[in-house]
Amino acid sequence: MKNKQLITIGLFALFTSTTMIAQNKSYLDKTKPTEERIDLLMKQMTLEEKVGQMNQYNGFWEVTGPAPKGGNAELKYKHLRDGWVGSMLSVRGVKEVRSVQKIAVEETRLGIPLIIGFDVIHGYKTLSPIPLAEAASWDMEAIKKSAQVAADEASAVGINWTFGPNVDVANDARWGRVMEGAGEDPYLGSKIATARVTGFQGDTKADLLKVNTIAACAKHFAAYGLAEAGLEYNTVDISNSKLYNTVLPPFKAAVDAGIRTFMNSFNILNGVPATGNSFLQREILKGKWKFDGFVVSDWASVREMIPHGFAKDGAEATQKAVTAGSDMDMESYLYVAELAKLVKEGKVKEAMVDDAVRRILRVKFELGLFDDPYKYCDEAREKSEVGSKANNDGVLDMAKKSIVLLKNAPSPFGRAGEGLLPLKKSGQKIALIGALANDKNSPLGSWRIASDDNTAVSVLEGMQQYKDNQLTYEKGADLTVGKTAFIDELVFNTTDKSGFDAAQKVAASADVVVMVLGEHGFQTGEGRSRTSLDLPGVQQELLEAIYKVNPNIVLVLNNGRPLALPWAAEHIPAIVEAWQLGTQTGNAVAQVLYGDYNPSGKLPMSFPRNVGQCPIYYNHYSTGRPVNAEKNVFWSHYTDVEKTPQFPFGFGLSYTTFEYKNCKVNKSAFAKGESVKISVDVTNTGNYDGKEVAQLYIQDVAASLARPVKELKGFELINLKKGETKTVSFTLTDKELGFFDNDGKYLVEPGTFKIMVGGSSDKGLESSFELQ
C-alpha cells in the first residue's frame, strides 16, 4: 500500500511538473499573438534573465570545439549557459551558429533563442560595391537587390541580423566611414535607406519570417557622420536645424520602412554621448517616431561614456545608458555586471528593463526564432547560396551601375567630338599600369570581414577577357609596403620609384594607357581618417611620369572616398570613378571601359579641389557676401582656389549626351497643400543609348530660418535610346517644400521657390513659383 501511495505521489508530481513545464512554455504557442507571448515569457523571467537579454557578446570561442577554460571566455560561457546572453555577434557558419543556439535553446532554463548579429555592410562573401559606390548608381531597385543578395548569403550561414545600413549623412571626405554611407544629401540618403532596409528585411514585417531575410539596423544614431575635422569618434557640434533637416531624415525613412533595430553612435551631441542621450533615443526615436524595435549600443560605447567625461564609472554609465533608452549593450560587459544591482538599489526602474527586454524579444519573435530556433541553420542552403552564380551576377550588375564617368575628352582614335572612351575592342596597343590594376584584394573594399582575401576579379583579369587588343601590364609602383601587427592595418608610405622606367617604356609604345590608381581598400572605413586626399604614395608622380611619354591616359580610380585630383582633372583626358566595387570589380570596369556598359552613375558626394575645402557640399547656406558684387576682396571666397568643388554632387557623364528643354511648372502660384507639378523634356543627343538621372532642386528664397542655396527634392533614372526624347515629371508637396525649425516643428511657409532641373547640382534649367 505504501509503495502504491509513493508511486501515486510520484506520478502526480511528475504530472504536475510536466504540466507546469507545458504552462511555462506556453509562449511557444505560435497561435497566440506576439505581444501575449512576450507577456507570458516575461512573467517567468528573473531580473537577471531579463538583463541577460540586454547583453551582447562577441564570439569568444570556437563553438564547435571544447568549452573555454579560464579567464573572461569562461565567464562569458557561463553567462551563455545561465541565459544571461541575448545576442552574439561575429558567430557565423551554420555549424557554429547551430552549436551556440543549441546552448541557448536547450541548456538554459527558459530556452530563449539568440539573435545572431554581423556586419553585413556590402555583402557577406559575395561582395557588392562599397555603399558609397552603390549610392552613385541612384538606382533604388538595384540597391535594394544588392541588400537582398547580402541578406540571402548572410541568412544562409546562420546570421539573422545585420549592423546596417549606415545612414549617416557625411560631407567631409577626411572621415574614413564615408565609404559605408550614402553621401552628403539627406533626400538621396533617405531613399537609399528605404531601399536597403527593404532589401535586408523585405517589404513588410511578415517578410522577416522568411528564411532569406534578416533584421536591419540603422546606424549611427545620431550625427556621427559630421564628426569635427573628419576625425574618427570625434565630437559633433551642430545646430538643431542641421540635426532635424540633415541628420535625422534618413533615420526617419528607415523607421517608416519598418526597420527593427537602431545602433547609437560614439559621438557626443549637445555635450551628451549618443549612448546616454534620452533626447535622441526616448524623445525622438521611441517617442515622436513610435519606434517599437530595439536600440543596440555601438561596440563598448556604454563604457566609453566614462572617457567622454559623462559617467564616473561603469555603474553610472549603465544607469545613464538604460535610462536614455539603450536597450542592448554590445561588448561593454556593463549591463550584465551592473544593471540588476542598480534595479535592486532603486537607481533604475525595472519598468525600463522590461521595456528594453520586450523590444528585444519582439524582434526575436518577428524573426520566427521562437518557432524554429534553427531556421537559419541549413547546411545545404549554406552550400548552395554562398557564392552562387546568381549572387555574382547580381553584384556585377550593381558594380557597373556604380561607376561614374568624370571626364572624357576627345581622342585622336575616335570620331570627331567623341572622347577617349569607350576603348576600341580590337587593333589597339593598351598599356595597363598601377599596382591596383593587378590587385585582387583591395577592390573588395573595407568592411568585408566574411569575405576571402584575394577573391576580387582584378582589372587586369577583366581587361584580359577582351582578347583582340594587345594588353601589356606594368605595376609602376607599389601602394603598400608592409603590414602591422594589427588586423587590416597596412603601411602605405611607399617611396619606391624603381618601377617607373618599365611603366614609361610600355606606355610610350601604347596607343592608350589605362592607369588604375587610388586608395587601398583598407585606407577607408572605421578608424581610417586622413588629412590628405591626394593619391597616396608616389602614385601622383607615377601619373605625371606616364603623362610625359603618352598623354592618352584613362585614369581609373579605385577609392572609398572623394579624392582631391586637381592635376588629373586638368591634364588627364578620361577619368573613371570606379570606387571599390567588390567581387566583380574587374569585370565591371572592363565592360565600362570597352563600352559594353554605358556608365550612368552620379556622384553622391562632392569632390574637393583640395583638402582645405573640406567639408564641402552642394546644399550649403549662402553667406551675406556670396559674390564679388563690390569688385573687391571682401566677399566669401578663397584667395588660392575656387570655392566650388572639382566635381559636384550629382555629376556624372555618359558616352552619350543629354539635352534638357522645356522646363515647365503647371502654374505660377499654389496654395499650401496643393501639389506642384514640374516637367522637363530630356533628349539623348549623342551616339549611344544611355541612362540619365534627371535631378530636381529647389530653393526656398526667404524663410523664417535661412534655407540652403539648393536642395535635392526629386530625381528620375531614365533610359533613352539615341535620338529619343522623354518628358520627366516631378511632383512637389508639403513634404518636399517644408523644413523643421529648431524645435523640430515642421513648417511649410508661403513665399517664392526657385527650382532647377538638370543632370547635376551645379547647373540646369531654372524656373520659379509662389506658395501662397
Q: What positions carry a catalytic annotation? A: 298
Q: Which residue has the cell 570606379?
A: 578
Q: Which of 252, 254, 256 is nearest to 244 (CA)?
A: 252
Task: Quote the cell numbers at residue 41.
Answer: 515569457
According to the 3-state scheme, what is the secondary structure of 148-176?
HHHHHHHHHCCCCEECCCECCCCCCCCCH
- Do 238 and 226 contact (CB within 8 A), yes or no? yes
- Do 571 and 444 contact (CB within 8 A), yes or no? no
Beta bridge partners of 669: 770
Task: Quote the cell numbers at residue 500.
Answer: 617607373
Q: Is 556 helix (H, G, I), strand (E, B) or coil?
A: strand
Taking the C-alpha atoms of residue 535 and residue 541, their distance in angstroms, rounded to an integer, is 9
Cα 225–231–235 angle (5° rounding)? 70
According to the 3-state scheme, what is the secondary structure of 450-512?
CCCCCCCCCHHHHHCCCCCCEEEEECCCCCCCEECCCCCCEECCCCCCCCHHHHHHHHHCCCE
Q: Is 573 helix (H, G, I), strand (E, B) or coil?
A: coil
Taking the C-alpha atoms of residue 680 and residue 736, their distance in angstroms, rounded to an integer, is 18
Q: Dihedral angle at the C-alpha atoms of 652, 654, 659, 665, nearest 10 degrees?
A: -40
* Residue ranges with strand state E in 210-327: 217-221, 261-264, 268-269, 272-273, 294-296
Task: Quote the cell numbers at residue 387.
Answer: 557564392
Residue 210 CB: number of other CB atoms within 10 A? 15
| DSSP letter string, 43-90 | TT--HHHHHHHTEEEE--S-TTSPPP-SHHHHHHHHHHHHT---EEES
Q: Which of 256, 123, 126 is nearest to 193 (CA)?
A: 256
What are the distances in angstroms from CA 475 to CA 266, 465, 565? 40, 19, 21
